[in-house]
Each structure stands twice: as C-alpha cells, then as structure tokens.
C-alpha cells in the first residue's frame, strides 16, 4: 500500500492511497458526527444537513454543483450513518482539484436558502414514508430502537416527519458549525492521486471550516427489548439480536467470523437449516455491526405468519449449537469469505477511500492489508465460539413487522437459548 497521512496544524487529517494502475480517483470528506451526535430535539438533523449542503452555496446553485461535477463525467453524493457523515466524489484523475473545490465549497459556504430548506424537508418526509412502506427496512429501525431505548444511537437516522419539519435555517447552520470542524474531519483520496497535490488542494479549499473540537456523542447503553408493529403483509419480518463487541474490542474480529459462519452464506448453518432443509424462509442471514463503544449481532428473516415460531426456534438452536460446535471447515470458509469481502473492497477507489478515512477516524491510522489478514488468520475456534456464546448471553432484542402475535418475546428467546 502507498498510504500517506498528513495532519495539519488545525487538526484536519488528510489520508491518501495512491493506486498507480488506475486513471480515476475518489475523494471525500468524512465527519465524525452522525445520528448519535444529535440531541433529542435534533433528531434527523444530521441527515438533513447532509441533504442541504448540496442545495447551493454562495458561489454555486444546486444545479451548478451537479452540472460542474457531471460536466467532467464525475458524480458526487453524501451519506449519513449512526456515527459518521461522508461526502464523496468520483472523477477522472485530472479533476480531483475540481472535486475538492466543490466539496470545500458545500461544506464551508452553504447558503441554506429557506425555500430550498422547505423543499428538502418535504423530500425527507417522503423518504421517511418510503421506509415505513418497506418492512425489511422498518424492522431494523424498530430493532435499533429496542436495543438502545431512549438513546440517540437507537433512533432512526432519518428522523420523524415532526422532528424534520420543525428544523429552521439557524438550526441547520448551527449544527454544521458545531460538528463540521477540522479536528472532527478526515479528507481521504484513493486511486490516481498525488498526496502532495491533495494536501495543497485541501489547504486551499477547506480554510473556512471551524477549528474547535466538536462535542463527543453520548455513550451507548445496550439494554435489549421488544418492538413490533402489526401490519397486513404476506410475510412477517423478524430480527432477533444481542449485544456484540465494539470495533475497539479485540473480540470484534471473532464476532464477525462467527456471524459469517452462522448465517453469512448459502453454506451457513442458518441458511441450510432454515431454508434448504425446512423451507421456512426464502432468505435468512446473520449480521455483526460494530460501533465505537458497542455492537449488535443477530439475524433477519421473513416468513409466512404460521411458520414464525418454528423459524425462530430453529434459528436460535442453530446459533446456540454453532457457538458450541463450530468446526475447522466452517471457520475456514467464514474467514475466507471475510477476507475476500475486505480485499475486494480495497480494489475500488471509492471503497478504499471510505475504508482509510474511517480507520484514521477510529484508530488514528490505516490498518495494512497484512495486518487485517493476520487478525483474521490468527483467530482460533475457541475464540470464535466464545464470541458467539458471549453475544447469546446478553439480553435479547426482538423486532417484528407483520402478524406479530406468534413471534416470541425476549423472555421466550432467553428460555430457548437456555434450554428451558
């Protein structure tokens, strides 16, 4: 890897990965602020800010922003997550300067025009409605809220129609000024890039960002719980989960491999037992998500209403058995799949820029390919099984959308796992 990292006196970090065989580049800005940074009366504000910075600056209209980047064949977009917000552009190598000019402009000179703000709030309210119409998305919103009740980390990223509609221009601008600061930001570039030129362009275009430290997000407290919404659907959607290690915890690697082995592919135990042998669901998979101070492990499936009790029992039995009897072949398959996913991402400039930015933000440095592979290869069966057992001992979280009556509550989940 040809990684270079520069930290300016202001605290702004610039990291690049030069991929000399490419002729394109991905450049972006990652902000250490997301939905869990919001106070109760700011619910959905991170996502609204992400939308609004594209709606015009003192130098460019919203249309001009789109036309300038697309006139060179590029594209630009933003994304809001629980812990971060990012703005990323893909361009030809010769146009990285333009991309950074536009990114600097939207993040330091946004106009926040009141008319644009009203229109965009209406767009986001429609986006919220779209999620409500998609049970496989809605069930995860319910799951997160039940896992972390009353906490920003558990609230839906988009906000609610009421919270979004209440935001004013001053609220939007104030949030950006508090959280979009140089010490809280990482500029990353990957592909056909030159580090010195990227540093020069960033220094020229991001001078307007504040230099004060931004407030840290409140600590998360996983609790577990139950959330369900009755709907007239063809199938019932179920997510059952538990607390997992944070990505600062060394056990996070074992937890990822356990999730992959348990339900990460068509050869996994969940897929084979639930779909192939019993036909209880078309799709079932497990997941493991890491955050800075907590994590979530679980599975999602949708099934005919009558089959939900059997599906849940079979899935829980699979997870419990996997935590005790995972074998060498399963561990090797899961580890290989995880390495392939990680290494495939490294071959894309956009994915590579995203990865190095997040690693700098989280660990203060970029993990090498060899280091990542070594962390996975060093894992033992004992460690992976222990990660599974540790998760399954935590308080269960149950979320259901559909015909909810037959889905077990957290108490029944705990009884099933304990063999009662």
Angle of helix 308-325 relative to helix 252-263, nearest 10 degrees, comes to: 130
Question: Given this model, what pLDDT does residue 301 score?
Answer: 97
Kindly indicate the confidence band of residue 363, based on its pLDDT and cuts at 50, 70 and 90. Answer: very high
Kindly indicate the confidence band of residue 215, based on its pLDDT and cuts at 50, 70 and 90. Answer: confident
Q: In this predicted model, what pLDDT tens digit does every residue of 246-298 receive, in sequence order?
A: 999 999 999 999 999 999 989 999 999 999 999 999 999 999 999 999 999 99
How many residues comprise the chain?
A: 420
Beta bridge partners of 286: 299
Does residue 420 surpass a pLDDT of 80? no
207-241 exposure pattern, b = at least 16 Cβ within 10 A, e = fewer: eebbeeebeebeebebbbbbbbbeeeeebbbbbbb
- Residue 108: phi and psi, rounded to 5, are -120, -15
Kindly indicate the confidence band of residue 1, based on its pLDDT and cuts at 50, 70 and 90. Answer: low
- Exposed/middle/buried for 79, CB within 10 Å: 0-12, 13-18, 19+? middle
Does residue 323 surpass a pLDDT of 60? yes
Kindly indicate the confidence band of residue 345, based on its pLDDT and cuts at 50, 70 and 90. Answer: confident
Q: In this predicted model, what pLDDT tens digit does every residue of 176-186 receive, in sequence order?
A: 999 999 999 99
For the entire predicted model, the pTM comes to: 0.94
Q: Which of 4, 38, 42, 50 is catalytic?
A: 50
Residue of 167, 170, 141 lying closest to 156 (CA atoms): 141
Q: What is the mean pLDDT of residues 165-182?
A: 94
Kindly indicate the confidence band of residue 419, based on its pLDDT and cuts at 50, 70 and 90. Answer: confident
How far apart, in whole angstroms, are the C-alpha atoms of residue 13 and residue 15?
Answer: 7
Residue 217 DSSP symbol: P
Q: Residue 135 contacts by C-beta under 8 Å, 6 or more apart in sequence?
A: 231, 233, 235, 237, 302, 401, 402
Let me know: does 257 contact 338? Beta carbons within 8 Å: yes
- Domains recognised in the chain with CATH numbers: 3-205 (3.30.830.10), 225-418 (3.30.830.10)
Does residue 134 surpass a pLDDT of 90? yes
- Per the annotation, the verdict on 50 as an active-site residue is yes
């Amino acid at each position: 890897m040809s990684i270079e990292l520069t930290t300016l006196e202001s605290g702004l970090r610039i990291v690049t990965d030069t991929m000399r065989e490419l002729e394109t580049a991905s450049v972006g800005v990652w902000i250490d602020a997301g939905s869990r940074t919001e106070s109760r009366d700011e619910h959905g504000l991170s996502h609204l800010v992400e939308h609004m910075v594209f709606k015009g600056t003192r130098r460019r209209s919203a249309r001009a922003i789109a036309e300038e980047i697309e006139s060179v064949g590029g594209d630009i977009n933003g994304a809001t997550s629980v812990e971060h917000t990012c703005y990323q552009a893909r361009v030809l190598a010769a146009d990285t300067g333009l991309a950074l000019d536009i990114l600097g402009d939207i993040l330091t000179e946004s106009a926040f025009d009141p008319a644009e703000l009203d229109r965009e709030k209406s767009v986001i309210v429609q986006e919220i409605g779209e999620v409500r119409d998609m049970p496989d998305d809605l069930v995860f919103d319910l799951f997160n809220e039940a896992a972390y009740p009353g906490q920003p980390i558990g609230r839906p990223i988009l906000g609610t129609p009421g919270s979004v509609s209440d935001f004013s221009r001053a609220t939007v601008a104030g949030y950006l000024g508090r959280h979009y600061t140089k010490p809280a930001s990482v500029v990353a570039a990957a592909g056909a890039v030159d580090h010195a030129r990227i540093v020069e362009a960033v220094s020229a275009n991001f001078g307007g960002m504040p230099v004060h430290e931004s407030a840290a997000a409140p600590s998360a407290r996983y609790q577990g719980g139950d959330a369900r919404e009755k709907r007239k659907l063809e199938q019932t959607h179920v997510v059952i989960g538990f607390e997992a290690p944070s990505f600062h915890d060394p056990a996070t690697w074992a937890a990822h491999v356990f999730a992959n082995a348990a339900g990460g592919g068509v050869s996994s135990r969940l897929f084979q037992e639930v779909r192939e042998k019993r036909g209880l669901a078309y799709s079932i998979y497990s997941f493991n998500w890491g955050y800075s101070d907590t994590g979530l492990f679980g599975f999602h499936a949708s099934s005919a209403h009558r089959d939900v009790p059997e599906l849940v029992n079979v899935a829980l039995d699979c997870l419990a058995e996997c935590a005790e009897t995972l074998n060498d072949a399963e561990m090797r398959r899961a580890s290989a799949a995880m390495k392939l996913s990680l290494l495939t991402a490294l071959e894309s400039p956009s994915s590579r820029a995203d990865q190095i930015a997040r690693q700098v933000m989280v660990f203060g440095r970029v993990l090498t390919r060899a280091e990542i592979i070594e962390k996975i290869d060093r894992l033992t069966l004992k460690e992976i099984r222990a990660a599974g057992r540790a998760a399954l001992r935590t308080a269960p979280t149950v979320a259901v959308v559909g015909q909810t009556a037959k889905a077990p509550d957290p108490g029944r989940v705990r009884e099933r796992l304990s063999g009662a």
